[in-house]
Amino acid sequence: MDINRNQVFLAGLVLILLGTQFRAVDSLVLTPRATKFLAEQTDQPGVAAAKAMESITGKEATLPRKTMRPPDWIGYFLLSVGAVLILHSWTMPKPA
């Protein structure tokens, strides 16, 4: 399947919107479920303690919510790649 003009334009538009979103936010606070998943994947020491507390008390122990701060450059990067993709889509031939 070939990628046509409309698909490249849509990808550029999504990247521009995503870049705008990253420029608008300062930090992202993860849900408890996402925090637990991330801690399990990175083998955080708090996961073992939470599992031990869960086995002793019988109820699920919650980890403190993780706050992620994306770097400043990521928004500009997504905006520029999206703009390049949109400009490139305008130079491609129309789909038949």
pLDDT in tens, the chain (96 residues): 788 999 999 999 999 999 999 999 999 999 988 888 888 888 777 666 666 666 666 666 677 788 999 999 999 999 999 999 999 999 998 877
> In this structure, are 35 and 14 located in the same domain?
no
Amino acid at 91: T
One domain for residues 64 and 40: yes
By CB atoms closer than 10 A (0-12, 13-18, 19+), residue 59 is: exposed
* One domain for residues 76 and 94: yes
The pLDDT, as a whole number, for residue 45 is 72
Q: What is the pLDDT of residue 89?
A: 95
The CB density around residue 15, as the number of other CB atoms within 10 Å, is 20
Give me the pLDDT at residue 26, please: 93
Same structural domain for residues 41 and 51?
Answer: yes
Domain hosting 80: range is 1-25+70-96
Cα dist from 6 to 16, 69, 82, whole Å:
15, 33, 14
